[in-house]
Amino acid sequence: MINRIIYLGYYFLKTPKKQFYKNFNFVKEKKKISSFSLYKDVLFSSLKYNISLMDYFKLRFFDKTKQERSEYAGAGFMYKYQLDMNPKESRDILENKVKFLEYFKDFAGRKWATIEMLESNKNLAADFLKSEQGKIVLKNSKGQAGKEVAVVDTKNMNVDDLFALMKKNNFDLIESFVVQHDELMKIAPRGLNTARIITQYHNNKIIIIGTSLRLSVHLNIDNISAGNFAVPVDPETGIVTDPGIYTDVTKEDVYKHPLTGIDIIGFKVPFWKECIETTTKAALLTPQNRSIGWDVAITNAGPLLIEGNHNWNNDLWQMPVRKGLKKILLQFVEN
């Protein structure tokens, strides 16, 4: 219990207050309960099920029975699980985007350079600015969850402008802009929409334990924390099986994309078989990291890896399927 209380204190510190109260007030009205009763349930659930305060809302605990709640892998469980599966000394090739691109070069499928490489070769910087897409992607090599990433138009930009922008915003990595598959562009054209495929290394084999697709709405990144939604994908067929879901509980499930009006259920992710094959091969290259959430972009030429996450999200894994999946992970936990 002492550990649970420590976790609760951490959750308090990390909770985004504005979003918490937005969700809190919505649920209070929806369930017709008092603030006291809802606070009590949030805190009790955090302690009993080791979930974060935001997990309570994102995982829709307010609509779950005690049995259903117990089946979810909360933030605390995930921290311990991923620490066991992906030891800190092994994570660098996943945490550092430069090392990731070097290690998984056969699956990256795009041009990239560090700021040091650009500074030593101004012609390389000029080549990026001549991109036929008219865009480049700038990143901080150690940024997480879509933070410290910018898609930049290269029109009217020179090399000096590029260096100034990178240094001002702490960007140390430049990548060519990935043009997504035509079918993904049709359904959600604002951003690069990536599949999340979670692999588990077990007994010298790779097991797929989760598959979903993030669809952008108004932003050029697809992270669900940025206001986009996720959909569950059948791991065998690559077909979306259920409506989209937001982390924001005030938003309704998505049956048609808000911008394009295209049906969500029944959408087939292009090159799905190749997506599974790519992540399986990549996972076999790093058995020291046994549980990885891969972000996969799909182009007209096939899939490519954007990044691999040692701390993949429990919400993106369980929210789209609308049920707890902790039992899947428990079978890999060593006694």
Sign of CA dihedral 298, 304, 307, 312: positive
Structure token pair of residue 146: 């879509």
In this prediction, residue 166 carries a pLDDT of 95
Q: Where along the chain do its domains lie? A: 2-70, 87-102+181-330, 111-176
The residue type of 249 is V
Structure token pair of residue 21: 């109260």
Helix, strand or coil for residue 294? Answer: strand
Domain 111-176 in CATH 3.30.1490: yes
Domain 87-102+181-330 in CATH 3.30.450.20: no
In this prediction, residue 105 carries a pLDDT of 96
In this prediction, residue 335 carries a pLDDT of 52
pLDDT tens per residue across span 177-190: 999 999 999 999 99
Please check the confidence at residue 9 and state whether its pLDDT lies above 60: yes
Please check the confidence at residue 133 and state whether its pLDDT lies above 90: no
Residues 32-37 have a mean pLDDT of: 97
Please check the confidence at residue 42 and state whether its pLDDT lies above 70: yes
Q: Which DSSP state fits 91?
A: T
**Total-model pTM:** 0.94
Render 172-231 in DSSP notation, one character per residue.
-EEEEPPPPPHHHHHH--SS---EEEEEEEETTEEEEEEEEEEE-SSSSS--GGGT-EEE
Average pLDDT, the chain: 94
Q: 14-18, 158-162, 289-293: which range is least confident on average? A: 14-18
Residues 127-132 have a mean pLDDT of: 89
pLDDT tens per residue across span 233-257: 999 999 999 999 999 999 999 999 9
Please check the confidence at residue 2 and state whether its pLDDT lies above 60: yes
In this prediction, residue 247 carries a pLDDT of 94
In this prediction, residue 160 carries a pLDDT of 94
Sheet of 173-176, strand order: 112-114, 173-176, 135-139, 149-153
Per cent of the chain over pLDDT 90 is 86
pLDDT tens per residue across span 78-115: 999 999 999 999 999 999 999 999 999 999 999 999 99
In this prediction, residue 159 carries a pLDDT of 94
pLDDT tens per residue across span 197-222: 999 999 999 999 999 999 999 877 77
